[in-house]
Structure 1
Amino acid sequence: MFKRAKRLVSNFAALLVVTAATTPFAHAENTFSNPPTIAKGPGYTHVVEVSGPHRLVFIAGQLGLTPDGKFAGEPGDFKAQSTQAYQNLKSALDSVGATFADVIKVNHYLTDIRAQLPILRGVRDSFVNTAAPPASTTVEVSRLAADAALFEVEAIVALPPR
C-alpha cells in the first residue's frame, strides 16, 4: 500500500514539474474602469480588476521619514512629507520589482484634509499613471503613529507570479 502511494506521489510530483516547466504563465492583467453610473473621481479609478495568475503585495503605511529616520522638510511641511512618503513607497515597490503602474489600490491618511488634499493630488500625480490611476481612498485622521507625521500612504500591488 505504501509503495503504491509513494509511486503515485512521485508520478504526481514529476507531472507538476513538467507542467510548471512547459506552461507559460500569463502576466496579471489589470483593468481600470469608472462605471458610467458613478461620478468620475479626481485622480483615482473606482474599479480595478486583477485577472490571471498573479501575486499580491501589500505595502505597509509609509510616512514622510527620510532614510535617517527624520521627517522630511521643516516641521509642518506637508508637501515635503507626502513627497518623501511617496518616495518611500517607490523604494518599497522597487524592492519587489514593481512600479507605480503595478499599484492597484492606495489609501491616504491626512491630518487636515481641506488644506492638504490639493497638495496631495499634485504629489500623487507626479508618481502614479494619471491615465490609469489606482483605486484610492483618502481620509482625515486625528493623528498618525508618530506625533510629527502629517501623512501616510499604503498600497496594494498586483504582479505576475515569480
Structure 2
Amino acid sequence: MTVFDNPTTVPAPPPGRYSHVARIELGDKTMLVLSGQVAVDAEGRLVGENDMRAQAEFVMDTIEKILAAHGATLAHVVNIRTFLTDMDRIGEYGEARLPRFTGAPPTSTTVEVSRLFVPGALLEVEVTAVV
C-alpha cells in the first residue's frame, strides 16, 4: 500500500502539484520516498539567498521533519540525491550534510544543474529511507 502525505510540520507544497513523501508499506518494512526539498519557508520565500550553507541547513532540517512525521530519522536514509547549481560549492553543502549522518553514510548521487524551479535556490535534495 502507498500513502502520499504532506506533514504539517513543514511548509505545504503548492496544492495539487506533488506530495512531500510517499510511504510504501513493504511487509515488515516501510519505505519513505521524499520529494526534492529546497530552502523555501512557509510563506514561499527563499531562505538564505546566495548562502549555500544556510540553504543546506534549512533543507536538511526540512527532511528531518518529514522523516520524523513518519517515525524515521536520517539514520534510516539509504539514498540521497542532490542537485547543485554550482558544483564548486559542494564543500559548503557538505559542511551542513556530513555532520548529520553519523553512522554508515547512505548511497549518494550529486549532480550539477543549470537551475532549479525556485529562482535563487542553490540546491535541491531528495532522500529515500527504509524503516
TM-score w.r.t. length of structure 1:
0.61
SS in 1 for 2:126: strand
The answer on 1:53 being equivalent to 2:28 is: yes
The number of residue pairs the alignment matches comes to 105
Q: Using the aligned pairs only, state the percent identity.
A: 33
- Tell me the CA shift for residue 133 of structure 1: 0.9
The answer on 1:122 being equivalent to 2:95 is: yes
| 1-structure distance, mates of 2:108, 2:121 | 20
Equivalent in the alignment of 2:9: none
| 1-structure distance, mates of 2:43, 2:99 | 24
- Tell me the CA shift for residue 55 of structure 1: 1.6
| 2-structure distance, mates of 1:157, 1:57 | 5
Give every structure 1 segment of 4 or more consecutive aligned residues whose post-TM-superposition deviation is greater than 3 Å.
none
SS in 1 for 2:59: helix
Q: 2:66 aligns with which of 92, 96, 102?
A: 92
CA RMSD of aligned residues (A): 1.4
- Tell me the CA shift for residue 67 of structure 1: 2.9
The answer on 1:155 being equivalent to 2:127 is: yes
The answer on 1:81 being equivalent to 2:49 is: no
SS in 1 for 2:36: strand
TM-score w.r.t. length of structure 2:
0.75
SS in 2 for 1:85: helix
Q: What are the superposed Cα offsets for residues 98-133 of structure 1, whole Å, 9 maximum, x if unpaired?
A: 00000000000000001x11111111012222x301
| 2-structure distance, mates of 1:90, 1:55 | 16
Q: Any unmatched runs of 5+ in structure 2?
A: 1-26
| 2-structure distance, mates of 1:76, 1:100 | 26
